Amino acid sequence: MRMIPVNALSVDVEDYFQTEAMSAVAPRERWNAFDCHVEANTNALFELFARYHVSATFFFLGWVAERFPALVQQASDLGHEVGCHSYWHRAVFRLTPAEFREDTFRAKRLIEDASGAPVYGYRAPCFSITQAVPWAYDVLEELGFSYDSSVNPIHHGFYGNAGASREPFRVGRNLLELPVATWRVLGQNVPVAGGAYLRILPYTLMRAGLRSINREERRPAVLYLHPWEIDPSQPRLHASAKSRLRQYTGLSQMKTKLERLLQQFKLGTIYENVYLPARAEINGAAGERSAANVKERCVQV
C-alpha cells in the first residue's frame, strides 16, 4: 500500500491592516490605532484545527507576539509549532542586511520569550527572499534557524521566484529552504499552496494539485493561510481597487474551503513533516555522494 505524505499547514499570523495590499493606507506608525482582530481570528483557527486533530506551524509577526504573548504561548501549549514571520512585515528585498538582521533577531527573541520554546523556522513577508537577496540565508543561519519557507516558485509581479526549485534544498551549512507548494502542469508551476489562491481559485484545482504532489511526486506540500482570511467581517480599508480585490475576494468562502482541506488531506507541522524528512534525504544524498567520491579515489589509487 502506498503511503500518502502528511502535508504541512502553516499560518502567517498577522492582522488585516498589516498586509502588503493595505500598506499604503495602513502605515506601520498607525498600526496601534487599528482595531485588532488577530487574537480572535487565530483562536478561531485553534478551534477549527482542534476539531480535526491537526497541529500546524504558526509563523508569528514579532509585533503580534509583543502585544499578544499569551496567543503565542497558547499555540505552543496546544502542540502547534511556533515560527517567525519578521517583526514589521517588510519585504526582505527592501531591507539592508543589517536591517533584516535587526528585524529578525527582535522578532525571534520576542516569539521565543512568549512561547518558551525554540524557533526553528522563518517565513518572510510576501515570500520576499528572492535571488536578489542571497545574503538573507546567511543571516538566518547566523540567528540559529534550521529552515526557511519563503520561496513561492511562481511568476508574480511582487515576489517572482519562478526559477527556484519546487523541492526542498540546502541554502547554508545546515539551513534548508522549504518552498511552498506548486503543481507542475505543462511546464509551468501552478500555485496551490493556499492563501489568496485558495480564496480565489476553484477548490477543485487546489485539491487536484495537492493530490498530484502527494500521489505522483510522493512529496508533502507546504500550505499557508492568514488569520484575517477567515474573517469576512474585517474592516474595509479605503485602499486602491487592486488592493481591495487582492484582500477581500473570497473571504466569505475561505473557512469552508479550509475545512474541506482539513477533511480531505493529512496535515501537520512543517518541522515534523517536511523539514525532518528533507534533512534526512538531503544529508543522505550528500553522504552517498561523499562515499562515491571516496570509492572513486580509492579505485584510482
pLDDT at 1: 53
Rounded to whole angstroms, the Cα distance separating 136 from 151 reads 12
Closest CA to 137 of 125, 126, 150: 150
Q: What is the pLDDT along the chain (301 residues), one digit of tens a residue?
A: 567 899 999 999 999 999 999 999 999 999 999 999 999 999 999 999 999 999 999 999 999 999 999 999 999 999 999 999 999 999 999 999 999 999 999 999 999 999 999 999 999 999 999 999 999 999 999 999 999 999 999 887 677 687 889 999 999 999 999 999 999 998 999 999 999 999 999 999 999 999 999 999 999 999 999 999 999 999 999 999 999 999 999 999 999 999 999 999 999 999 999 999 999 999 986 544 433 342 332 233 2
| The three three-digit cell numbers of residue 7, written as one number | 502535508
> Dmax of the chain from CA atoms?
73
List domains and CATH numbers for the chain: 7-300 (3.20.20.370)
Rounded to whole angstroms, the Cα distance separating 243 from 23 reads 9
User: What's the pTM?
Assistant: 0.93
pLDDT at 2: 64
pLDDT at 286: 54
Q: Are 262 and 254 in contact (CB under 8 A)?
A: no
Closest CA to 80 of 256, 230, 271, 213: 271
